[in-house]
Amino acid sequence: MPVPNDYLERVYAGVLGKLIGVYLGRPFEGWTHQRIMEELGPIEYYVHDRLNQPLVVTDDDVAGTFTFIRALEDYGISPDLSAEDIGKAWLNYICEERSILWWGGNGNSTEHTAWLNLKKGIPAPQSGSTAVNGLTVAEQIGAQIFIDGWAMVAPAQPQLAARLAEQAGKVSHDGESVHAAMLWAAMEAEAFRTSDIDRLIDTGLSVIPADCGIARLIADIRRWHGENPDWYACRQLIEDHYGYDRYPGNCHVVPNHALMIMAVLYAPDDFQKAQMIVNTSGWDTDCNAGNVGCLLGIMHGLDGLEAGPDWRGPVADRLLISSADGGNSVTDAVRVAQYLAGLGHRLAGETAPPAPKDGAQFHFSLPGSVQGFRTEPMVGGAARPVISNAQFEGSRALALAYAALGPGQEAVALTPVFSPPEVLNMRTYDLMASPLLYPGQVLSARVVAPGDNAGTITARLRIRAYDGNDRLRDIDGAPLTLAPGAEAVLEWRLPELDGQPVAEIGLVVAAAGPRASGRVLLDRMRWDGTPDMVLHRPEGDCDFWRMAWVNGVDFFSKRFPPSFRISQSRGEGLVSHGTRQWRDYTVSADITLHLGAWGGLAVRVQGLRRYYGVRLVREGRIEIVRVRDDATTVLAAQPFEVTLEETVPFTVTVSGSGITARVGDATLRAQDDSAEALHDGALGLIIHEGALSTDAVRIAPVQAG
């Protein structure tokens, strides 16, 4: 079935609806209706500031939804994707006790329980089955909260969406939890071609057993809805018949699913009202509001999100995904929507449309998109600049509007490319992330000064990097002068930063004369090239440089004399740094194996269980290996005397399908032209049941010849 003509925009609206719902409901997650009414009143808009919490947060609903869908890319874009493959993606992308899941303990957290099963070698779907985990654990809410991505890659194909949601749900859940996930996924897929809520619910019911508990629940709520024009009365009936007191466990799917069905029945055409109902009703508010928000986003598109208060402005497209692929962690709704739509086109047997503006990371081509950009307050109390999405050259651009810029004043718009300072105040879920761009790469932007501007301006690129006290400092590129009607491409090769990560990037506008008013259009912003830098402990007692490494080991300390010392108690551990944009590069480090069966450097890292490794093996050899899920393939090996506590220089180059390693005085080469080859990814350090250290890691472009 061909995808709809407005597919990408509807996916974008679905992603935004999910984010708005999660961010709206997260601050009072788990509260009862009674407590919400007493302390907050009806939830008409964001309340995070009233509870002293950030708006954009790390959250399992967001991270799981947009991480587990990557199994399609990793294991074949096919309607026959299996629960076993999705379970493998869990093991690759989830850092134990740190990312995506609620780590509430075996038998308490359904997802934690399933992850432990997977880790022990119990594959999905057995990992989430009632037979293994018992009915209480199996029927908590988790299968439902992660399913939106599966629906968005199957537009107008409810049977396919339900099948994919079933396979994904069975990694960790069973029974009514999987029925709820299948039904909601089918509803969301059908919402690409109808906004008739009864048709959507009937479509959902068609993919689950007619006599299951979820089907009976929906029949009751439909009846109560018909008998009670006031949603408060229906909510009370749900609490009386399907309340938390009737189900074991801490977050059962049935009561929460009931509130979601109620919300869309009472407000099928009103995003704001549906969010008010589902959030004011209480219990698992972020999960319920996220699913409801995604459904209504798909149903009514961007216009539906704009019909009420300004939901999009405070969010500004910002999205955090904590996973073992650190370069995918700090992102935005536009990039996620493009990724999902690309999968959907390929799943439908179509070629995905080309990336806008030659693949620029920031292109603003979707209506209203700002891709995380926000303005800074002006010095002297002048009016704050305003950003908006504007029509431009048959597409769209980011407009930065400023008024009466005088000497010493700047109009600034920045967007995050790494963990913001507020992550230190986020509760529950750590953010595993690496920066998106690095020293040695070229940052560029096309900017246009419209002809009706008043006054000439200068424009320059700005990065904001952490310093030795974990504060952000501004570093600027060279300015260019723009008269009204002029345009320019700003380019800047980023300088060395003493091992500190880049946190934000953006544009700075200043008056070239005594006064300037108008706007600048940022058509696109991108970065290219291979980093050229040394990673090490910077000066000062700071932490963000270390937080820029995805931590997949038991112990990663900044207190040892070397910059990096990692330790793993059981099995293999890995810390990684970088992005999937990296393809061909050279990494070098002087490595000391203190203890362990093996340890060394990793390249083209794509998670915890996908990388090439060059390792010292204590038995007396060096190896180049490819690790993919459960399989470790030795691509090359030769004898090598390994001595604990002896520092050995490593240099590893990946270029095309070739891998060249120089370890000490030995040189080892391998070629991987197989279907299992890895073509891009981060760098890393690996250790198996022991400890390893190095004081610096250097990455550089591959030298010609």
CB of 310 closer than 8 Å to CB of 67: no
Q: Quick one: DSSP state of residue 274?
A: H
Buried b (16+ CB within 10 A) or exposed e, 13-26: bbbbbbbbbbbbbb
What does the alpha-carbon distance between residue 113 and residue 256 come to, in Å, rounded to a whole number?
A: 21
What does the alpha-carbon distance between residue 528 and residue 546 come to, in Å, rounded to a whole number?
A: 24
Taking the CA of residue 205 as centre, how many other CA atoms within 13 Å lie in the half-sphere pointing to its CB? 17
The answer to whether 374-528 and 549-700 have equal CATH topology is yes
Q: What is the per-residue pLDDT across 460-499, written as a single tens digit (0 to 9) for each?
A: 999 999 999 999 999 999 999 999 999 999 999 999 999 9
Enumerate residues 6+ apart whose C-beta is below 8 A from 19.
Answer: 62, 290, 293, 315, 319, 333
Q: What is the per-residue pLDDT across 195-236, written as a single tens digit (0 to 9) for each?
A: 999 999 999 999 999 999 999 999 999 999 999 999 999 999
Average pLDDT over residues 276-305: 98
What does the alpha-carbon distance between residue 405 and residue 674 come to, in Å, rounded to a whole number?
A: 58
Percent residues over pLDDT 70 in the chain: 100
Task: Copy the structure tokens of residue 557.
Answer: 């300390």
Average pLDDT over residues 249-273: 97
Report the CATH superfamily, name and number, of domain 374-528: Galactose-binding domain-like (2.60.120.260)
**Which has the closest alpha carbon to 135: 112, 118, 117, 110?**
110
**Which has the closest alpha carbon to 199: 210, 209, 187?**
187
Enumerate residues 6+ apart whose C-beta is below 8 A from 133.
Answer: 107, 110, 113, 114, 117, 174
What does the alpha-carbon distance between residue 159 and residue 163 come to, in Å, rounded to a whole number?
A: 6
pTM: 0.97
Q: Compare 80 and 382 and report the one with higher pLDDT.
A: 80
CB of 603 closer than 8 Å to CB of 683: yes
Q: What is the per-residue pLDDT across 509-567, written as a single tens digit (0 to 9) for each?
A: 999 999 999 999 999 999 999 999 999 999 999 999 999 999 999 999 888 999 999 99
Q: Quick one: DSSP state of residue 260?
A: H
pLDDT at site 316: 98
What does the alpha-carbon distance between residue 565 and residue 402 come to, in Å, rounded to a whole number?
A: 48
Beta bridge partners of 507: 413, 461
Q: Where are the domains of the chain?
A: 7-327, 374-528, 549-700
pLDDT at site 485: 97
Q: Is the pLDDT of residue 381 over 80?
A: no
pLDDT at site 705: 64
What is 549-700's CATH number, 2.60.40.1180, 2.60.120.560, 3.30.2020.30, 3.20.10.10? 2.60.120.560
Q: Quick one: DSSP state of residue 384?
A: P
Q: What is the per-residue pLDDT across 19-56, written as a single tens digit (0 to 9) for each?
A: 999 999 999 999 999 999 999 999 999 999 999 999 99
**Which has the closest alpha carbon to 533: 442, 440, 463?**
440
Q: What is the per-residue pLDDT across 86-134, written as a single tens digit (0 to 9) for each?
A: 999 999 999 999 999 999 999 999 999 999 999 999 999 999 999 999 9
CB of 383 closer than 8 Å to CB of 404: yes
598-605 and 585-595 as β-strands: parallel, antiparallel, unpaired?
unpaired
pLDDT at site 2: 81
- Burial category of 339 from C-beta neighbours within 10 Å (exposed 0-12, middle 13-18, buried 19 and up): buried
DSSP reduced 3-state for 93: helix
Enumerate residues 6+ apart whose C-beta is below 8 A from 280.
Answer: 33, 36, 37, 42, 43
CA distances for 312 relative to 305, 315, 368, 395, angstroms: 8, 5, 8, 20
What does the alpha-carbon distance between residue 184 and residue 217 come to, in Å, rounded to a whole number?
A: 14
Average pLDDT over residues 129-151: 97
What does the alpha-carbon distance between residue 395 and residue 409 come to, in Å, rounded to a whole number?
A: 30
Quickly state the pLDDT bin for 380 (edges 50, 70, 90): confident
Average pLDDT over residues 48-71: 95
Specify the CATH number of the domain 7-327: 1.10.4080.10
Residue with token string 């480090």: 589
Average pLDDT over residues 168-182: 98
Distance of CA 338 to the CA centre of its chain: 13
**Which has the closest alpha carbon to 367: 415, 319, 305?**
305
- Average pLDDT for the chain: 96
CA distances for 10 relative to 187, 296, 632, angstroms: 14, 10, 41
Q: What is the per-residue pLDDT across 383-441, written as a single tens digit (0 to 9) for each?
A: 899 999 999 999 999 999 999 899 889 999 999 999 999 888 777 788 999 999 999 99
Average pLDDT over residues 258-265: 98
